[in-house]
Amino acid sequence: GAANLPRARKMGRGVIISFLHHGQYEGAMASIAHAEAPIHIAISPEMIGPEAPAFLRQHVRAGLVGGNTGVNVGGGANILVEQLTAGHALAIATDVPGKAPVRFLGKDRRGSSGAARLALGVNSPIVVMTAHMENGTIGLKLGEPIEPRDFADHDALLGHLMAAQETAVSDWPEGYHHPTMRWGTLEG
């Protein structure tokens, strides 16, 4: 699917790369920059602050290789909207604790609806990135561009994004990075 991101960029709008913390996602970001062009990556403030654990700081460093730009989401959704309206490709994880109810691998969870809401709000196509382990080789795949306006609302789009990840995660569950850090709780 290497041609899918350039194909989405040619639509003339900012592009969202939707991913989970599965496989070597930080290296995948650098691979995209090397293979196609640098991208922007949504990064939580906890990953870049002075108290951030070393492993998170290393994830950020690895993801920014190749000219990628980190975007601090602590500034709110408007900062992400600016990146997309400027025509950038923006990688956003969906498996971060949030308030959106999602169904994933047969369980009800709370995830982030940010990618779906942004895509609909600014009409940005989405490319789903999945990680795979095949014959001992780690790889990633970029899906075909998804038109957000093909979905009734952000909940329907979010459900589609989650369903697009299920096979990759169930085929390689041990590739999920710190699964207990992912998703919000159903209480509250």
Comparing CA positions, the residue from 98, 95, 150, 164 lying closest to residue 119 is 150
Helices vs strands, H then E, count in the chain: 7, 8
- pLDDT at position 9: 94
Q: Inter-axis angle of helices 54-63 and 25-35, to 10 degrees?
A: 20
Mean pLDDT computed over 120-132: 97
pLDDT confidence bin for 184, thresholds 50/70/90: low
User: What are the Cα distances from residue 155, in Å, to 94, 109, 119, 121, 167?
Assistant: 13, 13, 12, 13, 20
Average pLDDT of the residues in 43-54: 88
Distances (CA, A) of 167 to 38, 110, 130, 133: 28, 19, 9, 12
Report pLDDT for 188.
47
Burial class, 179, CB count within 10 angstroms (exposed 0-12 / middle 13-18 / buried 19+):
middle
* SS3 of residue 50 by DSSP: coil
Q: Please, are residues 22 and 55 in contact by the beta-carbon 8 Å criterion? A: no
pLDDT of residue 25: 82
pLDDT digits (tens, 9 = 90+) for 135-148: 999 999 999 999 99
Specify the range with the lowest mean pLDDT, choosing from 5-19, 40-54, 80-94: 40-54
Q: What is the pTM of this model?
A: 0.92
Distances (CA, A) of 168 to 105, 114, 161: 11, 21, 12
pLDDT tier at 182, thresholds 50, 70, 90: confident
